[in-house]
Amino acid sequence: MGKSTAKRLRHLRAASACKLVVMSFYADPSFFVLLFVAVVGAAVLGLLEKPLKWYGLVASLFFVALLFMNDVRQLACFVLFLASSAARCALIMRTPKSKWSFRIALAFTLYPLVVCKVSGAFDASLLGFAGISYLTFKATQVVIEVHDGIIERMSPSDWLCFIVFFPVFTSGPIDRSRRFVEDLHATRSRDEYAGLLARGIVLIAAGMVYKMVIAAYIFRLYDPHGWGNAGLGVELWQQVIIAYQYGLYLFFDFAGYSLMAMGASYCFGIRTPRNFRAPFLAVDIKDFWNRWHITLSFWLRDFVFMRFSRFALKYKLFKKRLRVAQCGFMVNMLLMGAWHGLSANYLLYGLFHGVLLAATEAFQKTKFYKAHKKELWFRGVSWFVTMQAVFFGFALFSGQITRLACGA
């Protein structure tokens, strides 16, 4: 993808606050050449039933070095983040039950991302580097799980492998540390690894078709423009088409990337979880978020929604559990929007989905829903309404709605 294309679509890579300056993962031909070489090495070791941990770590550090080779500022920010996160992880490991250690470690783990997002709203992107969003998710996850007693011990080398694993470095999917470490230390037979390798190659090929054929074709059709001088019906229909083109492009581009990231992970013996599961078959907005960017929505569910709900119930902030769930959805999705960026389109996107989830939670408590939820006509209508809401959300996310509101 050329520089002009990347500039036009920088909002499509909301998961990464900063541009890649040397080699874009899963986009540049040079990356695929090097990935092929790295996979060949992994395949030789795996088929010989040798462990892949240290080879994977060396390969990850090599690819990350290439990523930041010509950008000293990003490299310095990354090294600072890595060193400080390692120190905070060591601190929380020594005092896992200390509330102050936990709060300090959590605050300082989130601090670089917060600074990056706030400064990014002013086109500065201080402390930012490619992949900061996803690395922050992983580093934060470890801090929380150590404090909660879910992780009792994690060696420095395991932590480093988890944080810098290159197939998912820039844009996920977001793996879980315990599952990752289990795969990292798994002793696989030749046949078992051969199965992972074959599946990994198929996933990479499928991802390339998604991203480089289907998404590229839709992108050529995608022509965002403002309100014209034709009749109301014609102009409205054009905007609907633009919203659907953007949503389909976004899906095939990001799902294609996610498939390739999964495939590369499998080749290194790591079964990175899937990120999409037929999201356009969702029959309601809750079902959609169980199918779209699954690792992000599940991460927010486990580490934001559930913790907020426990806090609200403990301190009796609301009289009804329904209100707790509804406010939890609002907090969850507003945070998701802010994580993408502090611009109006992302914040409105988060607010929109928070309202939809809160409304869906209330609707699913009604007698009408319980009486008809399994009926074919109801599921068909629910699917149709859900898809319109989903693609309207994409129009918010892309900035299409805000551009039209501003007359652009």
Calculate helix-pair angle for 132-147, 99-120, nearest 10 degrees.
170
C-alpha closest to that of 398 among 339, 340, 355, 317: 340
The alpha carbon of residue 348 and the mean position of all alpha carbons in its chain are separated, in whole angstroms, by 18
User: Cis link prior to 51 (omega < 30° from 0)?
Assistant: no
Structure tokens at 146: 């150590």
pLDDT tens digits for 258-298?
999 999 999 999 999 999 999 999 999 999 999 999 999 99
C-alpha closest to that of 59 among 70, 45, 78: 45
C-alpha closest to that of 238 among 253, 258, 251, 224: 224
**Confidence grade of residue 53 (pLDDT, cut at 50, 70, 90):** very high
Q: Give the active site residues.
A: 340
CB 226: neighbour CB atoms within 10 A? 12
The Cα–Cα gap between 296 and 298 comes to 5
pLDDT for residue 10 is more than 80: no
pLDDT of residue 406: 81
**Confidence grade of residue 249 (pLDDT, cut at 50, 70, 90):** very high
C-alpha closest to that of 82 among 153, 160, 154: 160
pLDDT tens digits for 213-247?
999 999 999 988 888 777 788 889 999 999 999 99
What's the Cα-to-Cα distance from 57 to each of 115, 188, 271, rounded to whole Å? 29, 18, 16
